[in-house]
């Protein structure tokens, strides 16, 4: 099997790496993180102008119609540079949730301005941010667990319920919300997707920061007006989130490589007993173990990218769980080792390694932690 990237793919990856190196220094990132929004709208606009937000948008709506390999290369660079912008929630997850509706419109009237195709075009240009609001309290990574209710009204639908840990919800213009039009809370059928404006009446948010400093919110919906996107949408949600797992694995590899590189550089300069600590054999063994973990994670991220669009949902989820579990183990091991080898300085905000550690810890928990994916993988073999 040929694992070489095409010339176009290499150019795309190099372009994103150059953007991160030239436009997203660590000091600039710290200033953005401390800012009121927790991300830079100027950077988001730049990403749109350079075409990075259009990768998964169909060509007929101003996108590039790219695939998981291109996303892998972009997410590697995002992981290395610790970008704070909502690339995964908006440019990947929300885009995939909306994209299926472009050619199969839901059965209700819409204005051209808020049609899925028009919205995707604006998202590709960096003009609009949409994020998914699916997870609920007590769901524990079960995508079928949806208690939010959708009630038919003369003008469309009204949603009532709560969504938990909606990443970048404070910055979003729209939320792609899952709600039940039929069935019990954990039924596979009856889950529909809706488009909700951020400033819609009846929508409120409890804002907070995640462990890696990014902005999120718990969202409360009280008879919030919404536009139907798709009915019986669980397969679409599962496919989008499996694709998101592959993207997270790729981001983790970028952060893992950056952590390993920073640790090697630090041990070459840190002196003890008159020599760099990189010369101590015990520490060399630990860094060799870190290297092995990074390379295993890289291989599994390739597997995730190759299998995340499989039509066989059972086999797809099994492969994605295998990748996420191994990458999660690598994130924990490499993150902890890098902090320990840096000593006390590794825990301070002054060094990027502490930020990489927090991001790797967050990635291990996102879209299913290691324990969840080990269990899902085991069930997939049954």
pTM: 0.93
Task: Examine the pLDDT at 296 and tell me if it is beyond 90.
Answer: yes
Q: Per-residue confidence at 111, pLDDT binned at 50, 70, 90?
A: very low
Judged on CB neighbours under 10 Å (0-12, 13-18, 19+), 314 is exposed
In whole angstroms, give the CA distance from residue 1 to residue 226: 46
The mean pLDDT value for 256-281 works out to 92
Task: Examine the pLDDT at 358 and tell me if it is beyond 50.
Answer: yes
Task: Examine the pLDDT at 382 and tell me if it is beyond 90.
Answer: no
In whole angstroms, give the CA distance from residue 44 to residue 267: 35
Q: What are the structure tokens assigned to 302, written together?
A: 């390739």
Q: What are the structure tokens assigned to 314, written together?
A: 């059972």
Task: Examine the pLDDT at 101 and tell me if it is beyond 70.
Answer: no
In whole angstroms, give the CA distance from residue 290 to residue 232: 44
Q: What are the structure tokens assigned to 65, written together?
A: 């119609």
Task: Examine the pLDDT at 352 and tell me if it is beyond 80.
Answer: yes
Q: Per-residue confidence at 112, pLDDT binned at 50, 70, 90?
A: very low
Task: Examine the pLDDT at 229 and tell me if it is beyond 60.
Answer: yes
Distances 282 to 15, 269, 277, 288, 371 between C-alpha atoms, Å = 38, 17, 10, 10, 30
Q: Per-residue confidence at 114, pLDDT binned at 50, 70, 90?
A: low
Judged on CB neighbours under 10 Å (0-12, 13-18, 19+), 51 is middle
In whole angstroms, give the CA distance from residue 61 to residue 67: 16
Per-residue pLDDT at 4: 83
- Provide the percentage of residues in the chain whose pLDDT is more than 90: 86
**Model pLDDT for residues 41-70, shown as the tens digit of each residue:** 999 999 999 999 999 999 988 899 899 999
In whole angstroms, give the CA distance from residue 335 to residue 356: 8
The mean pLDDT value for 23-46 works out to 95
Backbone angles phi, psi at 149, to 5 degrees: -105, 145
Per-residue pLDDT at 93: 98
Long-range CB pairs of 67-70 (<8 Å, 24+ gap) are 67/309, 68/243, 68/246, 68/247, 68/304, 68/305, 68/306, 68/308, 68/309, 69/5, 69/9, 69/305, 70/9, 70/12
Q: Per-residue confidence at 381, pLDDT binned at 50, 70, 90?
A: low
Residue 10 neighbours by CB under 8 Å, 6+ apart: none
**Model pLDDT for residues 128-168, shown as the tens digit of each residue:** 999 999 999 999 999 999 999 999 999 899 999 999 999 99
Per-residue pLDDT at 105: 39
Task: Examine the pLDDT at 362 and tell me if it is beyond 50.
Answer: yes
**Model pLDDT for residues 231-265, shown as the tens digit of each residue:** 999 999 999 999 999 999 999 999 999 999 999 99
What is the average pLDDT score of the chain?
93
The mean pLDDT value for 3-12 works out to 90
The mean pLDDT value for 322-340 works out to 97
Number of H helices, E strands in the chain: 11, 9
Choice among 91-95, 113-117, 171-175 with the minimum mean pLDDT: 113-117
Per-residue pLDDT at 380: 76
The mean pLDDT value for 349-366 works out to 96
Task: Examine the pLDDT at 169 and tell me if it is beyond 50.
Answer: yes
């Amino acid at each position: 099997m040929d694992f070489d990237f095409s010339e176009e793919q290499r150019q795309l990856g190099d372009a994103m790496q150059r953007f991160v190196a030239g436009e997203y220094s660590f000091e600039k990132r710290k200033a953005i993180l401390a800012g009121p929004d927790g991300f830079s709208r100027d950077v988001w606009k730049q990403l749109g102008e350079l075409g990075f937000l259009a990768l998964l948008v169909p060509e007929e709506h101003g996108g590039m119609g790219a695939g998981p390999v291109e996303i892998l290369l972009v997410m590697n660079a995002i992981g290395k540079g610790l970008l704070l912008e909502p690339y995964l929630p908006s440019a990947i997850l929300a885009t995939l949730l909306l994209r299926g509706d472009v050619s199969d419109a839901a059965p209700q009237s819409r204005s051209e301005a808020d049609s899925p195709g028009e919205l995707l075009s604006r998202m590709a240009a960096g003009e609009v941010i949409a994020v998914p609001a699916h997870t609920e309290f007590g769901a524990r990574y079960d995508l079928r667990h949806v208690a939010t209710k959708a009630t038919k009204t003369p003008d469309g639908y009204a949603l009532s319920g709560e969504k938990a840990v909606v990443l970048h919800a404070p910055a979003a213009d729209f939320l792609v919300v899952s709600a039940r039009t039929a069935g019990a809370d954990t039924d596979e059928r009856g889950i529909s997707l809706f488009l909700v404006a951020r400033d819609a009446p009846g929508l409120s948010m409890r804002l907070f920061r995640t462990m890696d400093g990014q902005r999120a919110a718990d969202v409360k919906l009280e008879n919030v007006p919404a536009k139907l996107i798709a009915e019986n949408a669980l397969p679409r949600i599962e496919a989008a989130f499996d694709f998101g797992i592959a993207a997270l694995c790729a981001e983790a590899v970028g952060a893992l490589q950056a952590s390993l590189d920073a640790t090697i550089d630090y041990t070459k300069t840190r002196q003890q007993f008159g020599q760099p600590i990189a010369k101590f054999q015990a520490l060399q063994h630990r860094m060799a173990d870190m290297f092995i973990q990074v390379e295993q994670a890289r291989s599994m991220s390739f597997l995730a990218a190759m299998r995340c669009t499989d039509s066989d949902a059972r086999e797809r989820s099994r492969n994605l769980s295998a990748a996420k579990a191994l990458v999660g183990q690598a994130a924990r091991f490499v993150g902890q080792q890098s902090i320990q080898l840096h000593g006390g300085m590794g825990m301070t905000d002054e060094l990027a390694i502490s930020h990489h550690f927090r991001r790797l810890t967050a990635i291990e928990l996102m879209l299913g932690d290691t324990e969840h994916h080990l269990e899902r993988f085991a069930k997939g073999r049954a």
